[in-house]
Amino acid sequence: MWNKRTKIFSAVIITLCLILLAGALPVNANSNQGSIPTLAPPLAVPPPNFNPLTATDQELQQYGFPSRPSDAKELQEWENVMQYAKQYVKPDQHPSSFIHGLVRTSTSSHWAGYVVNGTDNKINGNAPLYTQATGEWTQPTYSGTNAVASLWVGMGGWTGSSSIVQAGAHSNVPGSTKYEFWVEDAPAGTVWEATPVVNAGNILYVDVQYGGSTSTAFLLNSSTTQYTTVSFNTPNYDGKSADYIYEAINYPPYPSWGSSAFSSCLLSSNLFGITDFDSFGYEQINMKSGSTLHGWPSTNPSNGSFTMYSQ
């Protein structure tokens, strides 16, 4: 009888330990998080003092860096940004059920910026599928309300689309710090990136490259020279558009942060190399509620640059 009770007691203890251990395990690529995107296997860590300017194309891909452009003008722009990527930091990833919205028209309640629509830019009768979007901006200052200002780049989300592969940074992260990088494969959910650290006024550079079942986000804080690379699962890809967006989250109230200069806004597709987004036809999106304008981009973008405004 004692042996039987001992075995039962031991089995209960072991079961409780397993339950507690499971609750303590970190989220990883094999975790079942429902609608939350699972993390892909991590990318290789660059060696100490890695220099993207002198790296081979193979090394850039291996460590998750943006592709090196072949065009002389775009190459110079790429080099101007990559010179600040000096301190690799391991990504500190934690998932959230937070999901960004989609947009259907050029007037939106929560989007402002530019979208390049592949159906309006056919090459030899074929609409390109966009595979890379890149942008740089100054992160807005938190306005002190419950609103969230999110600046990001990505592919998808335009009329007729139900998904976006995207990455960017928030001002006033819900339930977390005020400023933080993030990646997402909508309509799944957001994966927050606690590193590199982001503060108001920092110059941020984000590159998203679609790679099939998994994609890569390169996140750089040029003001601190810290960067990281993230591999995330992307089953919901729709590459019919490329996006350069300010998004209002948890509105109303709407964020009020003045203006931010966007630059290095590049894209690439399965039909052409890396180029400025405004080399093709694009749609301007204005953020409005009723007759009130809450966010808008400057008109006539040039060389991949424009200014984003808020109310």
* Per-residue pLDDT tens listing for the chain (311 residues): 444 444 443 443 333 333 333 332 222 222 223 356 667 889 999 999 999 999 999 999 999 999 999 999 999 999 999 999 999 999 988 887 777 888 878 899 999 999 999 988 999 999 999 999 999 999 998 877 778 899 999 999 987 788 999 999 998 876 667 899 999 999 888 898 989 999 999 999 999 999 999 999 999 999 999 999 999 999 999 999 999 999 998 888 898 899 999 999 999 999 999 999 999 999 999 999 999 999 999 999 999 999 999 98
Q: Which residues contact 20 (CB under 8 A, 6 or more apart)?
A: none
For residue 129, which of 242, 283, 211, 206 has the smallest C-alpha distance? 242
Q: Where on the phi/psi map is residue 250: left (φ > 0), alpha (ψ -120 to 50), or beta?
A: left
40-310: CATH topology is: Jelly Rolls (2.60.120)
Q: Pairing between strand 275-276 and 164-171?
A: unpaired
Is the bond leading into 255 cis (omega within 30 degrees of zero)?
no
> In this predicted structure, what is the pLDDT of residue 50?
97
CA angle, residues 216, 218, 224, in degrees to nearest 5? 160
What is the separation of C-alpha 179 from the centre of its chain, rounded to a whole number of angstroms?
Answer: 14
Q: What DSSP state is assigned to residue 118?
A: G
Burial (CB count within 10 angstroms: exposed 0-12, middle 13-18, buried 19+), residue 20: exposed
Helix boundaries (H) for the chain: 2-24, 57-62, 72-82
Give me the residue spans of the domains in the chain: 40-310
What confidence score (pLDDT) does residue 174 get? 65
Question: Which H or E element spans position 166?
Answer: strand 164-171
Residue whose C-alpha is closest to residue 84's, from 65, 63, 103, 59 = 65
What pLDDT was estimated at residue 146?
79
pLDDT score for 33: 34
Q: What is the pTM of this model?
A: 0.87
Half-sphere exposure of 233 (CA within 13 A, CB side): 18
